Amino acid sequence: MLKRYRRSASGATRATANVYLPSEHGIRGSAIDSGAAAICQRLTRGGHEAYIVGGALRDLLTGRDPKDFDIATSARPRQITALFRGARIIGRRFKLVHVPSGRRVFEVATFRAADTSAANRYGTVDQDAFRRDFSFNALYYAPRSERLIDYVGGFDDIQQRALRTVEDPEASFREDPVRMIRAVKYARLAGFSMERRYRTLIGRHAGCLRECSAERLTEELVKILSCGRATEILDSAHDLGLFAVLLPNLIARVSPRLEGSAVGRRLAALDEQVADEVATGRRLRTLMFSALLSDVAFEDDTWQTEERPVKGLAQRLRSAMEPLVLPQVDALRVAERLAKAP
C-alpha cells in the first residue's frame, strides 16, 4: 500500500490517503466500463484529474455487477463539454455533465469543495471525498494506473462490511435526509452492518425526509423497486419510520409489517421478476407501481362509473402516491393494467 501526501499551509507534509495497488484491491481493469475509462483518459490528456468513483467501485468490491460508472474530475463543466461532442450540462443545485459514449451516457462531476455554503463551489479530490455520503462511496479509481485512492477509510469499511457516514452521522443525515434511505438500502443490498446509533438517528430524524423534493424521493423509491430486493429494503424502512413519511397514504396497508401484507406479497413477486429479468423498461415501471397501488383500484371503485374510467383511476393512483410523484404517463399505464384486471 502506498500513501498520498499533501503539503499544508505551514509547509508540513502529511499523508492524506491510502493508495491500493491492483494486487491489493482486486478490481480487474477489464471490469471497468471501457466507455468510462475512455472518458477518464481524455480528461487526463486534457490536463485534468479524472477517476471512476462511487457506487461502481462499491459494487465491484462487494461482488456485484455495477449498473452505472460515474466519473469525478478536476475539470469544470465548461471544460468537460469542450472535450466531448454531445456532452451537456444538467442540474440546478450542482452542475453535472452527461457525456455520451456509444449507447451509454456517463455522469461526470467536478470535484466539490469542503465548503457547503455554495452549491457550485469546486475543490480538490481530497475535499470531494469528504463531501460524499458514506465511506464506501468515497473511493477513487484511476483506470490507467489501476490504483484505488482512499481518503476516508472506505476500503477497510468495505472489507468489514461496515456502514459509516463520512462525516458525523447526525450532521450527515440532517444535511441530506435522503441518505437515511440510502443507508437502509446499502445495508440490505451489500450486507453492510448498521450500528444501533445509526438506526436510532434514522428513527429520530425520519420526518426530515419531508424537507426533500418529491422528485428526489421518487427517484430513490424507483431505484429500490427495481433492485430485486425491494421487499426487505422497504420492510426495514417501515421498521425505522421511513415508509410512513415516504408513502403515508399507504401505511395502513403495510402495518404492522410490510412482509406478509398484500403489498408485501406483490413486492416479493416483483422482486422475483426483476431477479429473473422478466420485466424491463416501461413494463417494469408499470409492475413497480402496480405492486404498491393495486389496492387503490378496488377500495374505491367509483372510478368505474366515470365518463373516462382509466383517467379517473389514474388520478386516484397519483393521489395515493402523494407526497411522492407518480408521473402521469406511469399512472395511466398502471390504471389501464388494473382496469383490465379481473
User: What are the residue numbers of the active site?
Assistant: 68, 70, 133
Instruction: Return the closest-CA partner of residue 52 out of 64, 68, 65.
Output: 68
Which secondary structure element, helix H or strand E, spans residue 90, and what is its range?
strand 88-90
The answer for residues whose C-beta is within 8 angstroms of residue 233's C-beta and 6 or more apart is: 184, 185, 188, 189, 224, 227
Is 98 within 8 Å of 88 (Cβ atoms)?
A: yes
SS3 content of the chain, % helix, strand, coil (to 5): 50, 15, 30
Is 68 within 8 Å of 107 (Cβ atoms)?
A: yes
Cα–Cα distance, 9 to 25 (Å, whole number): 32
Grid coordinates representing 202? 434514522
C-alpha distances out from residue 243 to 147, 234, 239, 304, 333, Å: 40, 7, 8, 30, 24
The partner residues of 162 in beta bridges, in order of sequence, read: 193
Instruction: Return the closest-CA partner of residue 236 out of 267, 213, 278.
Output: 267
Cα–Cα distance, 70 to 54 (Å, whole number): 7
Question: At which residue does the C-alpha cell 393512483 appear?
Answer: 317
| Angle between the N-to-C axes of helices 309-321 and 281-299, in degrees from 0 to 180, rounded to the nearest 10 | 90
Using the CB atoms, write b or e for 30-50: b if 16+ within 10 Å: eebbebbbebbebbbeeebbb
Radius of gyration, CA atoms only, the chain: 22
Is 328 within 8 Å of 315 (Cβ atoms)?
A: no
